[in-house]
Amino acid sequence: MGAFSSLGTLMGTKRDLVSGAGAAAPDGGNGLMLLVQTLIALAVVYAGIRYLLPKFAGRLNRRLSPSLGSEIAIEESAAFAGGALYLVSVRGKNMLLSVNGQSVTFLTEVPAKEMIEEPTFGELLREVPEPADETPPSELLQRLARLGGGS
């Protein structure tokens, strides 16, 4: 019986008289309290993600968007690991800016996009040069017949 009692002590099934560890309250109060604390913590985290995070994200976006009627416009943006690139139009000039957490760097001035009229299909056909070889149609038919296996 002595071997089994020491095994029970090692497994934590007997009450530790010195520290009180290893034994739960008879009504399960410790377990219930831990469950309540966990649920409260989860509720706080959920409320933070659900309600507070969108408000702060909205404030960050407002910093990057100019007001209506402004002479400053963000034409395009692209994010990368270290920050973002912005194509900004200011009073008719286009600038490429690099933005990271610490600074904004002017990279270059970008020329304005010009509207290029592409030619229509008919115009492209008119530009095709006439063939220089003036082979008569009968000779062309003979060539086709030879290629097709006829004699």
Q: Is the pLDDT of residue 150 over 70?
A: no
Q: Which tokens belong to 5?
A: 């009692």
Higher pLDDT, 15 or 123: 123
Residue scoring higher pLDDT (134 or 93): 93
CA distance linking residue 19 with residue 94, whole number of Å = 73
* Interval 13-61: pLDDT, tens: 666 566 655 555 555 557 889 999 999 999 999 988 888 877 776 666 5
pLDDT of residue 129: 73
State pTM to two decimals.
0.35
- 76-88 per-position pLDDT tens digit: 888 888 888 898 8
What does 21-52 look like in DSSP terms, one character per residue? TT---TT-HHHHHHHHHHHHHHHHHHHIIIII
Does residue 140 register a pLDDT over 70?
A: yes
**Which residues are within 8 A (CB) of 64 and not within 5 positions of it... i.e. 6 or more apart?**
74
DSSP H or E segment with residue 122: helix 121-127
pLDDT > 70? residue 65: no
Q: What percent of the chain has pLDDT over 90?
A: 11
Q: 126 or 97: which carries more pLDDT confidence?
A: 97
* Predicted pLDDT at 10: 54
Q: For residue 111, give every residue at least 6 positions away whose Cβ sits within 8 Å of its Cβ, in sequence order, or none.
A: 94
Tell me the C-alpha distance between 135 and 133, whole Å: 6
Q: What is the pLDDT of residue 15?
A: 64
Any idea which residue has 């404030």 for tokens?
Answer: 59
Cβ atoms of 63 and 57 within 8 Å: the answer is: no
Domain range summary for the chain, segments of one domain joined by +: 25-64, 68-110
Q: What does the alpha-carbon distance between residue 97 and residue 101 come to, in Å, rounded to a whole number?
A: 13
